[in-house]
Amino acid sequence: MQPALDIQNLHFAYPGGPTIIDVPSLSMARGEQLLLTAGSGAGKSTLLHLIAGLMDPSRGVVAVDGTIMHELHGARRDLFRGRKIGMIFQTFNLLLGFSAIENIMAALMFSSVPAEEHRAKASALLAKLGIDRQDARPTELSVGQQQRIAVARAVVCEPVLVLADEPTASLDPENSAAAMELIQGLCRETNAALLCVSHDPAMRERFSKRLSLAEVSRAKGGA
């Protein structure tokens, strides 16, 4: 089985600027969960954007499920990302003009699930996560409910890799614990690899495998 994530000699710097990311090697198997720690401005979000193909590296290789992200272009990369990578953001990034269920159905547009099954699949997942008001817009729901919608959107296509960028930063301690239980539990259920980046010390006890960005990188500084 191909690694969920395989990074080799990944380097990124803005033109004329200092090196931000310089990762010689990082690999994750399906089902593996890794916490990557670093302070604010150390390059955590930049690394996730490179992995997801939202940014292009200066050089090096990012392979997800055996496919090199940066050999895909345009719609092919977008489609691959939608099917293979789930993303959970600090600020949720929900579509505010869409209802809860429509946010999940939007993610399913990238999947191989037939269109006529999208609503039923989205509804079943939201029900499993305790979202009863599925036609409500995100702004009509609590912050904890919004986070559950964001998690549902990330896993509904059963990706091989889930990227979580400070996923509890907007939550209070009680909701933070519930959100991480949910994220980690769903990744275990689907055998997705989970790469979580955070500077929150409370995260450490939740992961048996922990690395600092400094341990995997030759670069200093970042964004």
pLDDT given for residue 223 in this prediction: 41
Residue carrying structure tokens 């994530």: 5
- The more confident residue out of 38 and 131 is 131
pLDDT given for residue 43 in this prediction: 87
- The whole model's pTM is what? 0.92
Q: Is the pLDDT of residue 180 over 50?
A: yes
pLDDT given for residue 221 in this prediction: 44
Q: What is the 3-state secondary structure (H, E, C) of 113-161?
A: CCHHHHHHHHHHHHHHCCCCCCCCCHHHCCHHHHHHHHHHHHHCCCCCE
17-31, 66-80, 100-114, 167-181: lowest mean pLDDT where? 167-181
Convert the pLDDT of each residue in 83-98 to its tens digit: 999 999 888 899 999 9
pLDDT given for residue 153 in this prediction: 95
Convert the pLDDT of each residue in 32-41 to its tens digit: 999 999 877 7
In this structure, which CATH number among 1.10.3720.10, 3.40.50.300, 3.60.110.10, 3.40.50.2300 belongs to the domain 5-216?
3.40.50.300
Q: Where along the chain do its domains lie?
A: 5-216
**Who's near 201: CB < 8 A, 6+ residues apart?**
none
Q: Is the pLDDT of residue 192 over 90?
A: yes
